[in-house]
A = this chain, B = another copy of it.
Amino acid sequence: MSENIPIQEIDPYILRAQEAFLGFKKLNIKERAAFMHAVADEIEALGTELIAAAQSETSLPEARLVGEKARTVNQWRAYADALVNSNVLPVQIDTAIPDRTPPKPDIRKTYTGLGVVVVFGASNFPFAFSTAGGDTASAIAAGCSVIFKSHSGHPTTSAIMAGAIERAVEKAGMPRGLFVAIATDGATGGQYLVKHPLVKAVGFTGSLYGGRTLFDLASQRPEPIPVFAEMGSVNPVFLLPGRLAAAAEEVATQYAGSLTLGVGQFCTNPGILVAPKNAELPRFLNTLKTQIGQVAPAQMLHQGIAASYHKNKADLLGQAGVDVLVAVDEDNPETHGNATVATVSAQAFLANPKLGDEVFGPFGLVVTYENQAEAVAIANQLEGQLTATVLGDPAELDQHTALIEALTEKCGRLLLNGFPTGVEVCGAMQHGGPYPASTDSRFTSVGPDAIKRFARPISYQNWPDGTLPDELKNGNPLGIWRTVNGELTRGSKDGRMEGEVG
């Protein structure tokens, strides 16, 4: 259960988490994976109580929550399976060459968890990026214990999810402190956790301000620790002239859908669309206006998010050269997000970096460019992004290589003719990008590679087979992929599978 804990009472939880980590790290990856499936089972078994609590706490619709619950279960299973089957923490073995000068030792590298990981949940994904979300699943997969700092936006939901993990811990006989969700006094409690010497890494999903604050705290510790903060972005979409001419209405309709999905409360929400200022553009804008106009204002996740949306949107609409194209029902309740799209010229955009800031919610800015050079200049001016998208006909792509190349410097995921909302949980997914999309572009927070954030390599030199961790043993008892003397193999040290006779 989430417990509300004053700062001065946090230490015993951290000490228990550290002790649990030291026990948990002795399991091999197959045993860890089995435990992760047990967690998935417990989450799957949660009944309508979970959905009802989340609906009431987040205003998200039931269908969305049912889908997000399935995704959360799937993350635990997928990360568990990847651990065993997909070489996510790649084992390498270089065997000895005793008669070389100097003799080559036997060296074998595996991974070990960093230690106690503190996870801060997101308000916009009460399941998939929260208590039992991707950060928790990947930290456990890496062999760490987790202290989850509950989000004040959905305490009951968090407590129910924490209960599921704790049941799995108990049934599987895992050490008791392996996972704990604690609610503590807001920012101060969170900062206390990040500064604690026994805490070795942090996972965070949320605002740039929040993420950067934690990153700074963690970097300035006597022993700095890694923080993976996913802080969102404007996910720019670049519309090329051929595609605009061929499908102005279709593209406008799709863009309106992606922009307003979930009241615009996704970190991959496409907040900026860059379009050519030509004779076809009015068709696109008119359809966009019509489509956006039909989206009823809806309640946002919580009061604070709605207040920020209205404030940030007003700030942006007040900038020079920004004109409102469509704003749904300005008199809607202040708890609701009303879809709004504005336009601005490339020239005005390039002159004012503030126009590149994220407005979290259903707000879109259409930036119109006169020529390719302006489009490239916009791409170059943008800060780091989770995603960037090109909407273009295949035939026109090679006329826009400068733009496409500029975008590869700015994002973690580059889409063609799609929209960035809807983040597939799979091995090839990169969810993270150059700062400020995330604090470390070398890692992802979605997909099994998220595990890599919380593990470190350790090499064993000249240890006898019986004393090595299972994944390093000659016979490859876990049957995993390993690189042995430079060659990938699923066999034993000598290339044979366990039990095979050569």
Within 419-452 of A, Cβ neighbours of B (below 8 Å) are at: 422, 424, 426-430, 432, 434-436, 439-442, 444, 449, 452
The one of B85, B418, B441, B444 that contacts A114, using a Cβ cutoff of 8 Å: B441
Q: Is A294 an interface residue (CB 8 A)?
A: no
**Chain B residues closer than 8 Å to A417, beta-carbon distance:** 462
Q: Are B216 and A427 in contact (CB under 8 A)?
A: no
When C-beta atoms are compared, the residue in chain B nearest to A431 turns out to be B459
**Chain B residues closer than 8 Å to A224, beta-carbon distance:** 215, 219, 435, 439
Name the distance in Å between A376's Cβ and chain B's nearest Cβ: 12
- Report the stretch among A166-174, A328-336, A360-368, A405-413 that lies at the interface: A405-413
**Chain B residues closer than 8 Å to A449, beta-carbon distance:** 92, 457
Q: Are B422 and A109 in contact (CB under 8 A)?
A: no
Q: Are A413 and B459 in contact (CB under 8 A)?
A: yes
Question: How far, in angstroms, from A94 to B424 measured CA to CA in the complex?
Answer: 10
Name the distance in Å between A108's Cβ and chain B's nearest Cβ: 5
Question: How far, in angstroms, from A444 to B456 measured CA to CA in the complex?
Answer: 10
- Count of residues in A whose CB is under 8 Å from the partner chain: 77
**Chain B residues closer than 8 Å to A104, beta-carbon distance:** 424, 426
Q: Is A255 an interface residue (CB 8 A)?
A: no
Q: Are B413 and A461 in contact (CB under 8 A)?
A: yes
Chain A 115-149: CB-based contact to B (< 8 A → 1; otherwise 0): 10000000000000000000000000000000000
Q: Are A441 and B456 in contact (CB under 8 A)?
A: yes
Q: Are A457 and B442 in contact (CB under 8 A)?
A: yes
Name the distance in Å between A173's Cβ and chain B's nearest Cβ: 19
Q: Is A415 an interface residue (CB 8 A)?
A: yes
Within 81-110 of A, Cβ neighbours of B (below 8 Å) are at: 81-82, 85-87, 90, 92-94, 102, 104-105, 107-109
Chain A 294-306: CB-based contact to B (< 8 A → 1; otherwise 0): 0000000000000
Question: How far, in angstroms, from A418 to B481 measured CA to CA in the complex?
Answer: 28
**Chain B residues closer than 8 Å to A456, beta-carbon distance:** 412, 434, 441-442
Q: Are A461 and B416 in contact (CB under 8 A)?
A: yes
Q: Is A486 an interface residue (CB 8 A)?
A: yes
| Known contacts A226-B442, A481-B488: A458-B411 contact under CB 8 Å | yes
Chain A 211-231: CB-based contact to B (< 8 A → 1; otherwise 0): 000011001100110100000
Q: Are A105 and B418 in contact (CB under 8 A)?
A: yes
Within 307-339 of A, Cβ neighbours of B (below 8 Å) are at: none
**Chain B residues closer than 8 Å to A416, beta-carbon distance:** 460-464, 467
Q: List 20 A-B contacts (CB under 8 A).
A: A82-B486, A86-B483, A87-B87, A92-B427, A92-B449, A107-B424, A108-B428, A109-B428, A112-B408, A115-B409, A223-B435, A226-B440, A226-B442, A412-B456, A412-B457, A414-B463, A441-B456, A442-B453, A442-B455, A444-B457
- A-B pairs with lowest CB-CB distance, top 6: A219-B219, A430-B459, A107-B428, A92-B428, A109-B428, A441-B456
